Structure 1
């Protein structure tokens, strides 16, 4: 028996805002969408790996999600760390930097943290 990662899921409050953020901040593109009466699932891919990020939009949800201590995050490597840092700084989405480790985190519109790691690390 073999298991493989398929996708990670994040619930989002404003699907259009989240899609715009993930496209601008991480160059993720929509690869698949499933429309249902009460919710929409949108799968995003990086064009390099088979792994997907699934955004779930519950259409009647009006309150922000309670992320608790938000100790869970997704990590992305980038080939041009300095350029990525400049982009994210201009977007105003950097929420934490650990210069000793050579990484930083950005935050999406719903408060999820995303770790940015230099590819050469």
Structure 2
């Protein structure tokens, strides 16, 4: 499929309007049960850096913003960091409602059981085979391994809440 073919849907504007220049897809938010387990997964397992944290004690929740950036890029000053974080693409916002980690029966709907909705996020890695071998060694649960099914160039792992994370590499295997 060529780029031209992507712009031939009836009723769809082929070109973004000038008013959208400068728009950035900034972040996706996931609600998480146990923030300690989630931060460990997204930082240690997937390499995200914690960019910002906002607490709302009166409403009993906290927001954790993560991104795949070099920690040296993150501004030290709180206001500068907050503004920078809102300008970069690909931020992951983890929302933790205080106390959910203490309720053994509590779980968020991950979007992949009925009724289906949200599907997954995706992380691109330089070597998907090596990444999957590492995930296996770390005991990360898989939804789909590279060898499963017909699409042997991608895998799906699960975070502590059961959200799916697609793992791909830019170049062909």
1:24 alignment partner in structure 2: 44
2:85 alignment partner in structure 1: none
Gaps of 5+ in 2: 1-18, 71-87
Question: What is the TM-score with the length of structure 1 in the denominator?
Answer: 0.89
d(CA) in 2 for partners of 1:14, 1:60: 9
> Which structure is larger by alpha-carbon Rg, 1 or 2?
2
Runs of 4+ in 1 over 3 A off after TM superposition: none
1:33 alignment partner in structure 2: 53
d(CA) in 1 for partners of 2:99, 2:136: 33
Task: Quote how far apart the aligned CAs of 1:112 are.
Answer: 0.1
Question: What is the TM-score with the length of structure 2 in the denominator?
Answer: 0.64
CA-based RMSD of the aligned residues comes to 1.8
Q: 1:64-95 CA distances to partner (integer Å, 9 max, x unpaired)?
A: 11235265100111002222011111122222
Task: Quote how far apart the aligned CAs of 1:4 are.
Answer: 2.4
1:73 alignment partner in structure 2: 120
Q: Which of the pair has the greater relative contact order for Cα pairs under 8 Å at 6+ separation?
A: 1
d(CA) in 2 for partners of 1:7, 1:66: 19
Residue of 50, 53, 74 corresponding to 2:89? 50
Task: Quote how far apart the aligned CAs of 1:7 are.
Answer: 0.1
The residue matched to 1:119 in structure 2 has which SS? coil
Greater percentage in helix? 2
Greater percentage in strand? 1
d(CA) in 2 for partners of 1:85, 1:67: 22
d(CA) in 2 for partners of 1:24, 1:90: 13
d(CA) in 1 for partners of 2:32, 2:133: 25
Deviates more, 1:11-20 or 1:95-104: 95-104
